[in-house]
Amino acid sequence: MHEQSPRPEKSLALSSMLELREDTRHVWHPQELGAILKHQLAAPLVLALGNSLSAEVAHELKTLGSPQQEVKNLAMLLHHPEPSLELLSFTKRFAKSCWNDPDSPLPREIAILLYYLSIAVADLRSGKQLSTLGRDDLIQGLRWCGDQVWVDQSTLRLLKEALEHFGKGREAFAELKATMPPTAD
Amino acid sequence: MSGHRQSELAPFAPTQWSLVHRAGQTDAEARKVSLGLLLQRYLPALRAYLRAQKRFDHEQVEDLLQGFVAEKVVEHNLIAQADRQRGKFRSFLMVALNRYVIDQARRAGAGTRSTECAPVGADAREERVSREAQPSNQFDIAWAQELVAQALARMRRECETSGQIEVWVIFECRVVKPAFDGIEPMPYELLIERFGLQSPILAFNLLTTAKRKFARILRSVAGEYAGDSQRIDQEIDDLRSILSIAGA
């Protein structure tokens, strides 16, 4: 670099380097969301939900009964027939904090997906409400999630099941639109 | 924390004006060492300025710089005339170089110098000088390039010596090479595989650490030239504006 004259295209590169500073946003590119979601769903639960919840998550994992002991990651939790409500609640808390935090370690889109999925799965499998979010808002959020091209097939099936559960059926899922989800409750 | 960082960077951090002060002294040894350091820092930018803005070829640039250093910097002790109150040292240096180039063009045009001493053709040089008689942003662009190059070299060195080579590698693969070589950033899947990262949070933390480290080192390097914190911010903002306009 020392021996080359600065060229216009290099000027933009240099400018981007000077802009880095303390900004931690935009670490990942939009086309990487699928890979990040896959990684997040497969990550050990104590690592996936952040430092602030890791102790609580570890404690909960130790106290789980036999049907749930096999749960090692978010994918297993979300697809479990009898998921731990406590772990789903932790997932919702973590997702909500990431959604609201501009410096979140998780892309906002993935935080939104985890937020709605954790609420929907709790209702779907246990009939429990983790949130005061209205049903219409929840459906709107789930539709938004289902419309994202980076969501994997397994998660899409879960979203579809949740939408059907919430009474909108196949039509609701077929009419997915790229609307932004409502804000977290 | 700041004390730790200061000591960590101490071997690299004689400040700009302390070097200028020492280079302007009469103590021959101190002057020689400080001049050497100053020239090491500024010659790449001066070279780029002559080449890109004045359109001199490689040989002409080297001849002009050699003459400038020998006549103005060493013989006339140019550095002793630099005054912190009157602005940036690099502006002072560039104005002096510009004057030297104009002077050389005039002398060559008046036929007062032999061909050997006037490396650039008189007509061509007169034209170049009249085209760009005033200091230019080109020098600032070259300067930004030098600043970033120094910060990158220092970051790499720091990562290597502190056992954090993965911080440098992730920064190089995701930020530096895409910015300067136009190649795609290392894909997320490859990145987590290469570094054995178990969750997106760990990947985020590693890349964020790298970006923050570079930002800190860049400020530290800029601080050696700019002085206090406010001037560092101003310096970086100014360079960024110039670069954005140049690249637009």
Interface check for A136 against chain B (CB to CB < 8 A): the answer is: no
Closest approach of A172 to chain B, Cα-based (Å): 32
Q: Check residues A104 and B22 and name the one with the higher pLDDT.
A: A104
> Does position A89 have pLDDT exceeding 90, yes or no?
yes
Reported confidence tier of residue B136, pLDDT bands at 50, 70, 90: low
Which tens digits make up the pLDDT trace of B165-192? 999 999 999 988 888 888 888 999 999 9
Which of 11-50 (A) contact B at CB < 8 A? 11-24, 27-29, 32, 35-36, 39-40, 43-44, 47-48, 50
The pLDDT score that the predictor gives to residue A23 is: 57
Interchain contact, B149 vs A23, CB within 8 Å = no
Q: Which amino acid is at A177?
A: K
List CB contacts (< 8 A) between A32 and chain B: 187-188
> Does position B26 have pLDDT exceeding 70, yes or no?
no
Interchain contact, B200 vs A36, CB within 8 Å = yes
Give the percent of chain A with pLDDT over 90. 44
Give the Cα separation of B134 and B97 in Å (integer). Answer: 11
Interchain contact, A17 vs B148, CB within 8 Å = yes
Q: Check residues B113 and B12 and name the one with the higher pLDDT.
A: B113
Give the percent of chain A with pLDDT over 70. 76
Interchain contact, B187 vs A17, CB within 8 Å = no
The pLDDT score that the predictor gives to residue A77 is: 93
Interchain contact, A18 vs B204, CB within 8 Å = no
Mutate which of A12, A18, A36, A152 to disrupt the B interface (most B C-beta within 10 Å)? A18
Interface check for A101 against chain B (CB to CB < 8 A): the answer is: no
> Does position A5 have pLDDT exceeding 70, yes or no?
no
Question: For the ranges A77-91, A102-116, B13-27, which has the lowest average pLDDT?
Answer: B13-27
Q: Check residues B215 and B144 and name the one with the higher pLDDT.
A: B215
Q: Which amino acid is at B5?
A: R
Q: What rounded mean pLDDT belongs to chain B?
A: 77
Q: Mean pLDDT, to the nearest integer, of A161-170?
A: 77
Reported confidence tier of residue A182, pLDDT bands at 50, 70, 90: low
List CB contacts (< 8 A) between B246 and chain A: 6, 8, 11
Q: Which residue has the tokens 């602030």?
A: A52
Q: Check residues A166 and B11 and name the one with the higher pLDDT.
A: A166
The pLDDT score that the predictor gives to residue A176 is: 52
Closest approach of B152 to chain A, Cα-based (Å): 10
Give the Cα separation of B29 and B27 in Å (integer). Answer: 6
Reported confidence tier of residue A26, pLDDT bands at 50, 70, 90: low
SS3 per residue for chain B: CHHHHHHHHHHHCCCHHHHHHHHCCCCHHHHHHHHHHHHHHHHHHHHHHHHHHCCCCHHHHHHHHHHHHHHHHHHCCHHHHCCHHHCCHHHHHHHHHHHHHHHHHHHHHCCCCCCCCCCCCHHHHHHHHHHCCCCCHHHHHHHHHHHHHHHHHHHHHHHHHCCCHHHHHHHHHHHHHHHHHCCCCCCHHHHHHHHCCCCHHHHHHHHHHHHHHHHHHHHHHHHHHHCCHHHHHHHHHHHHHHHHHHHC
> Does position A154 have pLDDT exceeding 80, yes or no?
yes
Which tens digits make up the pLDDT trace of A30-79? 889 999 999 999 999 888 887 777 777 777 777 776 666 788 899 999 99
Q: Check residues A56 and A21 and name the one with the higher pLDDT.
A: A56
The pLDDT score that the predictor gives to residue A145 is: 95
Reported confidence tier of residue B2, pLDDT bands at 50, 70, 90: very low
> Which two tokens mark A156?
């899409």
Given CA atoms A36, A41, A42, A47 in this order, what sign does their dihedral have?
Answer: positive
Beta-carbon contacts of A136 under 8 Å, excluding residues fewer than 6 positions away, are none
Q: Check residues B208 and A122 and name the one with the higher pLDDT.
A: A122
Contact B77, B163 (CB under 8 A): no
> Which two tokens mark B24?
């302007």
Q: Please give the ipTM for the structure prediction.
A: 0.79
The pLDDT score that the predictor gives to residue A180 is: 53
Nearest Cα to Cα of residue B240 among B147, B170, B155, B166: B147
Angle, helices B137-161 vs A8-19, to 10°: value is 50
Q: Mean pLDDT, to the nearest integer, of B69-90?
A: 78
The pLDDT score that the predictor gives to residue B17 is: 65
User: B64: buried, middle or exposed (CB in 10 Å: 19+, 13-18, 0-12)?
Assistant: buried
The pLDDT score that the predictor gives to residue A6 is: 42
Nearest residue of A to residue B237 by CA position?
A: A18
Q: Mean pLDDT, to the nearest integer, of B74-94?
A: 77
Interface check for A1 against chain B (CB to CB < 8 A): the answer is: yes
SS3 per residue for A142-153: HHHHHCCCCCCH
**pTM (two decimals):** 0.71
The pLDDT score that the predictor gives to residue B37 is: 79
The pLDDT score that the predictor gives to residue B52 is: 72
Query: How many Cβ contacts (< 8 angstroms) between chains A and B?
Result: 122
Coil vs helix vs strand at A73: strand
> Does position B196 have pLDDT exceeding 80, yes or no?
yes
Q: Mean pLDDT, to the nearest integer, of B207-235?
A: 82
